[in-house]
């Protein structure tokens, strides 16, 4: 019997704020990923690319550099589907863990959809 291939996803929170909703959802994705899917959270966005700064052009230059790196490595970039939460703090417990089971289930379904996209495009 052949073992099913394991899908590996890299998740990047678009915000550098420690308590951002994006960051909490990315961390939750890593925690509740279904069997066969590994979510690796990239936490080095603040250091990439060198020279990125706030202001009118800093963000645009940083985004362009990240896109160039993804293109050069032939990475498959998928920006959706997305998890939408009606109340941003309600689904999380006091430790920041996604505690709402409906939201966790929806997140697992999104991860499965992303893994399927990867398999069909690879």
Q: Note the pLDDT tens digit of each residue in 7-64.
A: 888 888 877 777 788 889 999 999 999 988 999 998 887 776 555 555 555 566 767 7
1 exposed, middle or buried (CB, 10 Å; 0-12, 13-18, 19+)?
exposed
**DSSP 8-state code for residue 110:** H
pTM for the structure as a whole: 0.73
All structural domains of the chain, each given as residue ranges with its CATH number in brackets, are 7-121 (3.40.50.360)
DSSP string, 16-79: --TT-HHHHHHHHHHHHPPTTEEEEEE--GGG-STT--SSTTHHHHHHHHHHHHHHHTT-----
- Rounded Cα–Cα distance for residues 20 and 24 (Å): 6
- Rounded Cα–Cα distance for residues 62 and 51 (Å): 8
Identify the bridge partners of residue 37 per DSSP, sorted by sequence position.
7
Choose among 14, 1, 5, 2: nearest CA to 115. 5
Q: Note the pLDDT tens digit of each residue in 96-116.
A: 889 999 999 999 999 998 888
């Amino acid at each position: 019997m052949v073992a099913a291939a394991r899908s590996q996803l890299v998740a990047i929170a678009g915000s550098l704020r420690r308590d951002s909703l994006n960051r909490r959802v990315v961390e939750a994705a890593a925690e509740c990923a279904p069997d066969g899917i590994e979510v690796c959270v990239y936490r080095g966005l603040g250091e990439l690319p060198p020279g990125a700064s706030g202001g009118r052009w800093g963000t645009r230059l940083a985004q362009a550099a990240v896109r160039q790196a993804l293109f050069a490595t032939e990475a498959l970039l998928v920006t959706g589907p997305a998890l939408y939460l009606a109340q941003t703090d309600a689904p999380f417990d006091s430790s920041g863990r996604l505690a709402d089971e409906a939201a966790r289930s929806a997140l697992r379904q999104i991860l499965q959809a992303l893994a399927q996209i990867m398999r069909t495009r690879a």
